[in-house]
Amino acid sequence: MFSNQPLADRLRPRSLEEFAGQEHLVGSDGVLRKVIDSGNVPSFILWGPPGVGKTTLARIVANKLERSFFQLSAVHSGVKEVRETIEKAKGQQFFGKPNPILFIDEIHRFNKSQQDSLLGAVEQGILTLIGATTENPSFEVISPLLSRCQVYVLKPLEDETLKKLIDRAVSDDFYLSQHKIRVAEYEALIRISGGDARKLYNALELTVSLEAEKGSGEIIVTDDMVLGHVQQNLAMYDKNGEQHFDIISAFIKSLRGSDPNAAVYWLARMVEGGEDVKFIARRMVILAAEDIGLANPNALLLAQACFNAVNLVGWPESRIILSETALYLATSPKSNAAYMAIENAIAAVHRHGDLPVPLHLRNAPTRLMKDLGYHEGYRYAHDFEDNFVLDNYLPEQIAGTVFYDPGINTRELEIRKQLETRWQKIYKYFKDNK
C-alpha cells in the first residue's frame, strides 16, 4: 500500500538540520545560514538544477523566521497574480510585524513586465522575494530586480548525500518502512538521479512499489532491478538541468564543425530527453546566420522554415524535420563573416561614439535643412550604370574602415571579387586580407 503523495513530498525537510547537501550555503559556516540566523534576510535568488532543494529551502526560511509565505509559479502566474499577492502582503503590514515572503518558482519564465511588477514591492520592503531558477539569473532576471537580490548557487547533490537520502527513505518513510527493504547496490539509483533528489526518490519508490506487487517478501534493491523498472530514464538528459546546456553546446559545435554524424547524435539525445522542439529549431536559426551566413544564404531560409514547421507539427514527427535541417547545416560551407562584420561595427560604435551622419546622407524635409547642406551632393545609385556609384557612406572619421571581410568559400569569393572591383579606391583591404 503506497500513498498518492510522492515520496519526495513525504520526506521534504522541515528544518535546516534535516536539509541534505548544500553545505556551502546552509552548513554550520554556510553564508546563507548565517544570514538566516541573523533574522535579517534580504531578497535572494536560488540558482541551481532541479531537485536540489530550492523550494524546500525557501519554505524552511519562512518557517524559521515565522513569516507569512506566498508561493507563485512563473509558469501559471502573470502580472495579475503578482499584484494580487502584493496587495495581500500589504494587508498584513502591521507595526513591528515582519514582511511576508513571496516565493516564485521558475522566475526566469517571467517576462520583463512581470518582473517589473515586483520591483516596487521589493524596493519598499512590502515583501521579501525568494526566486528559484534553473537558468543563469544574469541573463534571465532584469537588472533592476537582480541588483536588489542576493544570488545563491545550489549544486547537484553528491553521491554520498544521495546514499544518505536513500537510506533515510527506506528507514523513515511510513510506507516504505512497512516493507522489508535492503539496498544492496546504489549506483543505478544515483546514476538515474543525476544529482536530483526528486528523481532519486521517484526511481526508488517506483522500484519498491513494483517489487512489492510481486509479494516476494524481502526486497533487495539491485542495480539491475532499478534499471529494469526505470529504463525510460536512462537517457540521463534533463531539459531543465545542467546537461541541457552541455548537450545543446555539443550539438551546435558539431554543426559548426561540419560533422553530421555527431550533430544527429546530439539531436537524438535532445529528442529522447524531451527537449523543447522550438528551442532546438531556434538555435539552428542562430547558427545558420552566425556560422554559415553568406557562404550559403539558403541555410537561414531552411532553418527558418524548420522553425515554422516544427511549431506546426510538434512531436514526434518534428524529429524528422530537425534531422533534415541539422544534416543540411552540418554539411553546408561555413563562414562567420556576417557575424564578425556586425561585431566589428559595434566595436567601432563603442570606440568612436555617436559620429555625425555625413551631410549628403541626411534627410532634408525642410527648407532650413536644405540651406544647411542636408542631402546636398547625394547621388542616387539607380541613376548610374549597374545601379552603382562610388561614394562615401561612412562618417568621415572612420571612412574606409573595413567591417565585412568575405569568407573563403565559393559564394563569398564572388562577393569579394565584386567588392574589389567596385570599392578598390575607398576600401583597399581586400587583397591584404585574403
Count of helices and strands (H, E) across the chain: 20, 7
How confident is the model at residue 200, as a pLDDT? 85
Do residues 34 and 123 share a domain? yes
C-alpha cell at 111: 517576462
pLDDT attached to residue 301: 93
* Residue at 10 is within a domain: no
- Given a contact cutoff of 8 angstroms between Cβ atoms, the answer to whether 84 and 44 are in contact is no
> Residue 62 domain-assigned?
yes
Question: What is the reported pLDDT for 235?
Answer: 46
The total number of structural domains that make up the chain? 4
Same domain, 366 and 322: no
Are 94 and 175 members of one domain?
no
Tens of pLDDT, residue by residue over 133-156, are 887 787 778 888 888 888 888 888
Give the integer Cα–Cα distance in Å for 148 and 248: 31
Inside any domain, residue 111: yes
Say how far apart CA 307 and CA 270 lie, in whole Å: 16
Residue after which a domain boundary falls, among 208, 233, 258? 233
Query: Does residue 12 lie within any of the structural domains?
Result: no
For residue 47, the domain's CATH number is 3.40.50.300
CATH assignment at residue 417: 1.10.3710.10
Residue 6, Ramachandran bin (φ over 0: left; ψ between -120 and 50: alpha; else beta): beta
Residue 126 in any domain: the answer is: yes
Contact criterion met (CB below 8 Å) for 25 and 31: yes
Structural domain for 410, as ranges = 337-423
Q: Does residue 429 form part of some domain?
A: no
Q: What is residue 299's predicted lDDT score, i.e. its pLDDT?
A: 92
pLDDT tens digits, one per residue of 365-384: 677 766 676 677 777 778 77
Give the per-residue pLDDT at 238. 47
Nine-digit cell string for 207: 522500484
Helix, strand, coil percent content, the chain, rounded in steps of 5:
55, 5, 40
101, 7, 22: which is closest to 61 by C-alpha? 101
Residue 243's pLDDT is 62
Residue 219 sits in the same domain as residue 308? no
Answer yes or no: do 52 and 164 share one domain: no
pLDDT on residue 364: 67
Give the model's pLDDT for residue 391: 78
- My answer on whether 226 and 257 are in the same domain is no
Neighbour tally for 123: CB within 10 Å: 12
Q: How far apart are CA 382 and CA 138, in angstroms?
A: 48
Same domain, 134 and 178: no
Same domain, 46 and 164: no
149 and 165 share one domain: no
Based on the domain organization, do 148 and 167 belong to the same domain? Answer: no
**Residues in the chain with pLDDT < 70?**
1-4, 75, 93-96, 215-216, 231-244, 364-365, 369-371, 373-374, 429-434
Note whether residue 1 is domain-resident.
no
pLDDT for 347: 86
Look at residues 209, 233, 257 and tell me which one is the last residue of a structural domain: 233
Looking at residue 231, its pLDDT comes to 60
Model confidence over 185-218: pLDDT tens digits? Answer: 888 888 877 778 888 888 888 888 887 777 667 7
C-alpha cell at 49: 538544477
Instruction: Report the CATH number that the domain containing residue 182 is assigned in CATH.
Output: 1.10.8.60
Residue 212 and residue 314 in one domain = no
Q: How far apart are the first and last CA of the chain?
A: 75
- The H or E element spanning position 182 is strand 181-183
* Shared-domain flag, residues 83 and 134: yes
**Letter string b/e over residues 149-185, b meaning 16 or more CB atoms within 10 A of that residue's CB:** beebebbbbeeebbeebbeebbeebebbeebebebee
pLDDT, residue 304, reads: 92
Looking at 276, 298, 330, which one is the last position of a domain?
A: 330
